[in-house]
Amino acid sequence: MNHNDLENIKLHIAGATVRNTPPFDNLKPFKNSFELSKDFLDKWVIPFYMKIGSTDSDWLNQLTILKSEITTDIIEKNLGDFNWRTRQTGAFFSAVTNQTQYIDIIGIHLLKSEVCYAGSVYCQVLASFNLPKCVDYLNIYLDYYLTKPDLWFDQRDALEAICYLDKLNSTHYFDKHLENWGEFLKNKPHWEKEISTDKLENQINFIESIRKFAG
């Protein structure tokens, strides 16, 4: 997706169009035209998806050993499958192998929020890449989904990612979302208001430590 497409989505969210459709309906997500085999799932999904988020040494060793085997084909098959387990695994694989060509696929998956659980990993991966387009996707997500208090999605994860990237890039995007964050929380009395990036920073440090290994 090019910069003009992202700008048009921003305008749509802001109400600068006469269209009545949700702003992400016209985005085409990356999807496989086939079912993944059991052998593929057993090798490239089952052993990984539940461990994403861990930072222990066994998980680090497992990933560094297998890193050279994680091909673009494996990443694309995971990202294209309509399942949170495969999609978050594909996004995570793209991060540890530093495959930034998948930013648009991951960003569109985040915006469309088609499957549960994967969004937090998308936010983590976009933050780890820290390219301007990653920031755009996170801001667009927050601009829209923070105004939808009945959608209990990945708003906190996206806000943590923006806060983290503000620290790295000396930007101030986090501040512009604070008012909407406060409104969003009004029907969520058990959600923590404060935003912390500690966990996210640990995850990104873990990803970066894997990237350093030759593969």
Average pLDDT, consecutive stretches of 10 residues, N- to C-terminus, the chain (215 residues): 68 48 84 98 97 96 95 98 97 98 97 94 98 97 96 97 98 98 97 96 97 76
Which of 119, 111, 76 lies closest to 94 in space, CA to CA?
76
pLDDT score of 35 = 97
With b meaning 16 or more CB within 10 Å and e meaning fewer, what string describes 111-145? Answer: bebbbeebbbbbbbbbbbbeeebbbbbbbbbbbbb
- Give the model's pLDDT for residue 17: 41
Give the side-chain half-sphere CA count within 13 A for 196.
Answer: 6
165 with 135: CB under 8 angstroms? Answer: yes
pTM over 0.85: yes
The domain ranges of the chain are: 3-211
- Residue 26 pLDDT: 87
Quick check: helix, strand or coil at residue 38? helix
Residue 57 identity: S
